Structure 1
Amino acid sequence: MPQLNPNPWLFIMIISWLTLSMIIQPKILTFVSTNPPSSKIHTTPSTTPWTWPWT
């Protein structure tokens, strides 16, 4: 069965992986902007407990 022969497919997989990781990935990562850390102080909202009519 030719599908089980790793000789051509292993080389193609390694070349594809190297192309992706060395050439394409850095170009894509330049377009992705991460959210900068916020300098706002995180405050928790004050909540009041719900009064259930049946308790």
Structure 2
Amino acid sequence: MPQLNPNPWFFIMVLSWFTYSMIIQPKVLAFVSTNPPARKEPTTSTTTPWNWPWT
């Protein structure tokens, strides 16, 4: 069966991973986030109990 022959596909896989890891990945990681995450203090909300009319 020809699909089990790794001869042409292994080179294509290695070449695509090399392209991804050496060219595309540094360009993507160089982007600066427009909204960097800010550290926010947790807010506590005050809740009032609900007064049910039948209790």
Q: Shorter-normalised TM-score: what interval? A: 0.5 to 0.7
**RMSD value, Cα:** 2.1
By how many angstroms is 1:23 displaced?
0.9
Tell me the equivalent position of 1:7: 7
Q: Which residue of 1 aligns with 2:38?
A: 37
Aligned to 1:21: 21
Question: Normalized against structure 1, the TM-score is what?
Answer: 0.68
Q: Counterpart amino acid of 1:36?
A: P
Specify every segment of 5 or more residues in structure 1 that has no aligned partner in the other structure, as ranges: none
Cα gap change, 1:8 to 1:32, in 2 (>3 Å): farther
**CA displacement at 1:2 relative to structure 2:** 1.9
Identical aligned pairs, as a percentage?
70
Size of the alignment, in residue pairs?
54
Unaligned runs of 5+ in 2: none
- TM-score of the two chains, using structure 2 as the length reference: 0.68
